[in-house]
Amino acid sequence: MIASTSTRPQRAGAVLLPQGTAGIFSLVAGLFFLWGIPNNLNDVLIRQFMKSFAITRFEAGLVQSAFYLGYFLLALPAGLLMAKKGYKAGFLTGLLLFSTGCFLFWPAAHSGHYLAFLIALFVVASGLAFLETAANPFVAQLGPTDSSEARLNLAQAFNPIGSIAGVLLGVRFIFSGVELTPAQVSSMRAAGTYTNYLHAETFRVVVPYLVLGGLALLWAVMIALTRFPAFIHQREHVAEVETDWKALFRKKHFVFALFAQFMYVAAQVGTWSFFIQYAQQYGHTDERTAGFFLTGTLAAFGAGRFLSSLLMRRVRADRVMVWYAAMNIVLLAVGITMPGWAGLIAVLLTSFFMSIMFPTIFALGLKDLGGNTNLGGSFLVMTIIGGAVGTPLMGRLGEHSTALSYLIPLLGYVVVAAYALYMRRYTSTRLQVSNFDI
């Protein structure tokens, strides 16, 4: 007998969260909030380090390079650890590394060396690599496969709330509001006070990171005391005995997901990293006002995730992503060709439409991986290295024109649109085959 070939996003009866999983879902969703804070504090750090270390845009872009290099190098070890020890070990290792990196900001500030901060950021990112490698596939597997995209988008919706908190924290406690003119710098150099000014600006980053390190330790205690559902332990066992690298890379939709995620992360990180400079250059705002505009982009991002997770209950996730990628291509074309207030608003609005891309690409890439799901999640987290590649490239272009540098994110959305179109065909075929009842 042939059942209906409906293209509904999920089967009838597929629930978002099985009974008894709301508590652990909330605790893990809190991790998405927690790591959103350092991710977007980086955007503030780039501007602050340009001031406190008197470095170029390209050199400041190394903040993201150090950060996302940590993701790249530690994601695979995180996946291998969880294949042996389970999700809880991944969560706890990540939180301990995260807190250690935050506490390293104190000796880094005392050293007065930019490299020391890059090392601290690398350790923070190493911890976040464990957390993301654990949390994304954990949430995807915390219920029916057919609702994994909507469930992961809902969890990821807490991430921009953390991002907003991070930017507000940075604007309030890191930005001093003091912006010296070249004449003032020359005068302070002559008076011998410029070094003290740079030192004071550097120390402004310490307290927020010490508080963040304390929060990470608190979350580690809560995770350690929480019992995970029995079916999660069963899936951990399947991953341990069935992992097969060769089979994983024979999945074309997964390999395409790796490239699409790499390009998406380059687009997202680059868009936010140079948004403050875009606002100052073309909107003629001061750094604090530009920081509040950046907060607006993150609010749009958060709204996009919450609203889109509802939309994906009715419309297939791959279809939504095609529309959203197309919108961002148009908006960035405006931002590049019409720098000014129109371009600024266009770039700001891209955050709403980019909001679903990371969790949707992630969930779609994990489809049909079976025992390779955890390992596949590790490789998808490794693609976050796109943030380390895209930001310096934008920095180079930005030395000529900040608006022109947004060609890198535009290219990223072209790739995301192509992946979404590919997955529309893949998912349609998958649904048609699975709707045959023999």
Does residue 319 lie within any of the structural domains?
A: yes
Does residue 55 lie within any of the structural domains?
A: yes
Asked if 67 and 125 touch (Cβ cutoff 8 Å), the reply is yes
CA distance 355 to 301: 5
pLDDT reported for residue 194: 77
CATH code at position 340: 1.20.1250.20
2 φ/ψ angles, rounded to the nearest 5 degrees? -100, 125
Does residue 5 lie within any of the structural domains?
A: no
Asked if 75 and 382 touch (Cβ cutoff 8 Å), the reply is yes
pLDDT reported for residue 345: 94
Question: DSSP label at 177?
Answer: S
Structure tokens at 128: 């976040």
Does residue 6 lie within any of the structural domains?
A: no
Asked if 138 and 161 touch (Cβ cutoff 8 Å), the reply is no
Which class for 338: exposed (0-12), middle (13-18), buried (19 or more C-beta within 10 A)?
A: middle
CA distance 330 to 347: 10
State the Cα angle at 204 between 203 and 210, rounded to 5°: 85
- The mean pLDDT values, 10 residues at a time, for the chain of 438 residues are 36 62 89 88 78 76 79 87 85 96 94 90 93 88 76 84 82 75 82 80 87 95 88 58 70 94 93 87 82 83 85 85 96 94 94 92 86 82 85 83 93 96 82 47
Handedness of CA 382, 164, 334, 319 (dihedral sign): positive
Does residue 149 lie within any of the structural domains?
A: yes
Does residue 68 lie within any of the structural domains?
A: yes
pTM of the model: 0.74
CA distance 107 to 116: 8
CA distance 117 to 145: 41
pLDDT reported for residue 368: 82
Asked if 71 and 409 touch (Cβ cutoff 8 Å), the reply is no
pLDDT reported for residue 238: 55
Region class of 56: left (phi > 0), else alpha (psi between -120 and 50), else beta:
beta
Element (H, E) at 71: helix 62-85
pLDDT reported for residue 297: 86
Asked if 295 and 276 touch (Cβ cutoff 8 Å), the reply is no
pLDDT reported for residue 344: 93
CA 87 to chain centre: 20
Does residue 394 lie within any of the structural domains?
A: yes
Widest Cα–Cα separation across the chain: 88
Residue 261 to residues 1, 76, 136, 267, 323, Cα–Cα distance (Å): 39, 16, 14, 10, 17
Q: Which of 306, 302, 276 is nearest to 290 (CA)?
A: 276
List beta partners, residue 2: 436
CA distance 194 to 184: 9
CB neighbours of 321 closer than 8 A, spacing ≥ 6?
356, 357, 360, 361, 416, 417, 419, 420, 423
| Sequence letter at residue 312 | M
Question: DSSP label at 436?
Answer: B
Question: Domain span at residue 403?
Answer: 22-434
CA distance 358 to 380: 10
For tokens 């895209």, the residue is 390
pLDDT reported for residue 235: 60
CA distance 159 to 169: 15
Residue 19: count other Cβ atoms within 10 Å of its Cβ.
6
Q: What total number of domains does the chain contain? A: 1
Residue 313: count other Cβ atoms within 10 Å of its Cβ.
13
Q: Which of 137, 165, 358 is nearest to 264 (CA)?
A: 358
Residue 231 to residues 20, 79, 138, Cα–Cα distance (Å): 11, 19, 11
Does residue 86 lie within any of the structural domains?
A: yes
